[in-house]
C-alpha cells in the first residue's frame, strides 16, 4: 500500500487538477456539432454503433463483443436504407500508442460487413475508415479513446509517478513466518557464587547495565567465613535475579542472569508443512509487527525446538543492533524465499490496478498514459508474471499508478465506440 502524507495528498490533488485540462476524450467525426450533439458525443445508428455520414451514404461502425473475442461489424446505408454488404468495400486502420497500426479489410456476411481479426484491448485508437460504394470513395477519421490520459512531465513528477520498463524478472517463491526477537545464546550468561554462602551485598537490580569484570555482589563463604567478590562474566543487562542481600546461594541456581541486548536473533516457528522447505542460507526479510522496521538477511540455522515432543522446528536469523530498534521478546514476521524461477516478462506487483473487468498497468508514451490489459501468471509480493497484454520494453507506471487511474476515471475516457 502507498501511504500519503498531507503534502503528498496536496500534490496529488494538484496533479489531478492540472491533468483535468488535458485528459482524454473522444473527439467527434466532423458533423456532430451540426446535428446538435454535445462535445464528445456522436450519432448512433440502429445497432447503437457510430454513424459516419458522407452525403447520402452512411456507415455504422460497431464492435460485436458477445462472442469469444471482439470483432468489427459494419452496416452500410444509402438514403437511410440498408445497403447489401456485397456492394461495399471497406477498410479500417487503428492507430495505437506505441506507435502501432492495426488494419482490417472487410467482407460481407449476412446483412453486415465483418473484419477478419480481433479488435485487441484496449479499445483506444485513432480510427481511419474508408469505404467504396456505387463508384464513390468515402473516408472518415476520428478518435475513440478509453483508459487514456495526458499528464505533463512536471505534474507526473510532482505527483510521485515513477516508471519502469517491462522485461524479464526472477520470481521468488516465499513463505510467511511468525516469531519473536531473542538474545542469542552467546549473549546470555548465568552468574553463580563460586562457593556456597550468604549474599552480603548486591550492587545491581533488574535492568542494571554491567560491564564484564565488574563486581556486582559479595558473598560470605559458609566454610571459610571469608567474603569474596562476584563479577559479571559478560557485559549486558541484568535480566533475571533470584537472590537478595542475606540470601543463601551456591546450590546450583544462578544468582543473576545477564543478557547482552546487542546480540540478537529472530526465532521463527516452522511447522511440518513448511519445515522441509526452509534451509540455512535462504534469504529472509524480517519485519516488526507494526511494519516500521525491516531487515533483510539469511537463515542462520534450522534447529529442533526445546520441546522434544513438538513437531516444530526453529529457524534462527541474526539481527543487527541497529540502535536498539529490535528488542528482545517482541514479535516479528518473516518472509523467507524458498525458491525462485525466471519469468520472461514481469511487472511490479504494486503497479497493478483494476480497470473494468481487467487487471492493468498504465503504459507511458511521452506524456500519454494508457491502460494495458494483462493476462497474468505467477505472482509474488514483488513481481507478477505477464503472459500477454504488453510489449517488452514498454515503460509502465509503478509508483503513483492510482493517480493515473483516478485521472482516467475523472476524464471519462470510457469503453465506447
Express each pLDDT in 236-247 by its tens digit: 999 999 999 999
CA dihedral for 129, 135, 136, 137, sign (positive or negative):
positive
Element of type H or E holding 140 = strand 136-144
Pair 165, 48 in one domain = no
- How many angstroms separate the CA atoms of 116 and 107, rounded? 8
pLDDT tens for each residue of 363-372: 999 999 999 9
Pair 222, 365 in one domain = no
* Residue that is last in its domain, among 242, 259, 276: 259
State the pLDDT confidence band at 11, using cuts at 50, 70 and 90: very low
pLDDT tens for each residue of 125-171: 999 999 999 999 999 999 999 999 999 999 999 999 999 999 999 99
pLDDT tens for each residue of 249-267: 987 899 999 999 999 999 9
Domain of 114, CATH number, reads: 2.60.40
Is the pLDDT at 174 greater than 70? The verdict is yes
Helices (H) and strands (E) in the chain, counts: 4, 33
Strands, E assignment, 184-299: 188-191, 197-202, 209-210, 215-221, 227-231, 236-241, 248-249, 256-259, 264-270, 283-288, 294-298
Domain of 162, CATH number, reads: 2.40.420.20
Pair 179, 318 in one domain = yes
State the pLDDT confidence band at 41, using cuts at 50, 70 and 90: confident
Q: Please give the pLDDT value at position 151.
A: 93
pLDDT more than 70, % of the chain: 88
Tell me the three cell numbers of residue 212.
Answer: 564484564
Question: Please, what is the Cα angle at 112 between 110 and 113, to 5 degrees?
Answer: 110
- How many angstroms separate the CA atoms of 108 and 103, rounded? 17
| Contacting residues for 30 by C-beta, under 8 A, at least 6 apart | 140, 142
For 357, the domain range is 150-173+341-411
* Residue that is last in its domain, among 281, 304, 339: 339
Pair 47, 114 in one domain = yes
Element of type H or E holding 345 = strand 331-348
Pair 86, 129 in one domain = yes
Q: Please give the pLDDT value at position 181.
A: 96
Q: Please give the pLDDT value at position 413.
A: 52
Q: How many domains does the chain have?
A: 4
Pair 82, 71 in one domain = yes
* Residue that is last in its domain, among 259, 282, 313: 259
Is the pLDDT at 248 greater than 80? The verdict is yes
Is the pLDDT at 57 greater than 60? The verdict is yes
In-domain check, residue 70: yes
Give the pTM.
Answer: 0.63
Asked whether the beta carbons of 70 and 49 are under 8 A apart, the reply is no
Q: Please give the pLDDT value at position 321.
A: 87
Q: Please give the pLDDT value at position 27.
A: 38
Pair 351, 282 in one domain = no
Pair 223, 196 in one domain = yes
Amino acid at each position: 500500500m502507498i501511504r500519503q502524507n498531507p503534502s503528498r495528498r496536496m500534490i496529488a490533488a494538484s496533479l489531478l487538477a492540472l491533468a483535468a485540462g488535458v485528459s482524454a476524450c473522444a473527439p467527434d467525426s466532423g458533423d456532430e456539432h451540426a446535428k446538435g450533439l454535445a462535445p464528445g458525443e456522436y450519432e448512433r445508428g440502429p445497432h447503437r454503433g457510430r454513424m459516419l455520414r458522407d452525403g447520402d451514404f452512411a456507415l455504422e461502425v460497431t464492435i460485436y463483443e458477445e462472442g469469444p473475442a471482439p470483432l468489427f461489424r459494419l452496416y452500410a446505408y444509402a438514403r437511410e436504407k440498408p445497403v447489401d454488404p456485397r456492394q461495399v468495400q471497406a477498410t479500417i486502420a487503428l492507430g495505437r500508442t506505441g506507435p502501432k497500426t492495426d488494419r482490417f479489410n472487410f467482407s460481407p456476411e449476412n446483412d453486415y460487413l465483418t473484419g477478419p481479426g480481433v479488435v485487441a484491448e484496449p479499445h483506444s485508437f485513432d480510427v481511419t475508415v474508408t469505404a467504396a460504394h456505387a463508384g464513390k470513395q468515402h473516408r472518415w477519421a476520428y478518435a475513440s479513446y478509453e483508459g487514456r490520459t495526458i499528464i505533463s512531465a512536471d505534474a507526473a513528477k510532482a505527483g510521485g509517478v515513477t516508471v519502469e520498463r517491462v522485461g524479464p524478472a526472477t520470481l521468488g517463491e516465499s513463505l510467511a513466518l511468525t516469531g519473536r526477537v531473542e538474545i542469542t545464546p552467546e549473549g546470555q550468561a548465568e552468574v553463580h557464587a563460586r562457593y556456597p554462602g550468604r549474599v552480603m551485598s548486591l550492587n545491581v537490580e533488574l535492568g542494571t547495565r554491567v560491564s564484564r569484570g565488574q563486581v556486582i555482589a559479595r558473598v560470605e563463604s559458609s566454610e571459610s567465613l571469608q567474603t569474596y567478590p562476584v563479577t559479571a562474566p559478560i557485559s549486558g543487562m541484568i535480566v533475571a535475579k533470584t537472590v537478595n542481600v542475606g540470601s543463601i546461594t551456591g546450590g546450583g541456581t544462578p544468582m543473576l542472569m545477564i543478557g547482552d541486548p546487542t546480540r540478537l536473533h529472530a526465532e521463527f516457528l516452522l511447522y511440518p508443512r513448511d519445515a522441509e522447505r526452509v534451509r540455512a542460507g535462504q534469504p529472509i526479510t524480517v519485519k516488526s509487527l507494526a511494519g516500521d522496521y525491516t531487515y533483510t538477511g539469511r537463515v542462520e540455522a534450522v534447529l529442533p525446538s526445546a520441546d522434544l515432543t513438538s513437531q516444530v522446528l526453529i529457524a534462527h536469523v541474526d539481527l543487527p543492533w541497529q540502535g536498539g530498534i529490535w528488542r528482545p521478546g517482541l514479535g516479528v514476521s518473516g518472509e523467507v524465499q524458498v525458491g525462485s524461477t525466471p519469468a520472461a516478462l514481469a511487472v511490479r506487483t504494486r503497479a497493478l490496478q483494476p480497470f473494468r473487468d481487467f487487471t492493468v498497468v498504465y503504459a507511458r508514451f511521452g506524456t500519454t498514459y494508457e491502460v494495458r490489459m494483462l493476462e497474468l501468471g505467477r505472482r509474488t509480493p514483488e513481481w507478477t508474471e505477464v503472459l500477454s497484454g504488453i510489449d517488452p520494453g514498454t515503460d509502465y507506471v509503478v509508483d503513483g499508478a492510482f493517480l493515473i487511474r483516478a485521472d482516467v476515471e475523472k476524464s471519462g475516457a470510457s469503453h465506447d465506440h
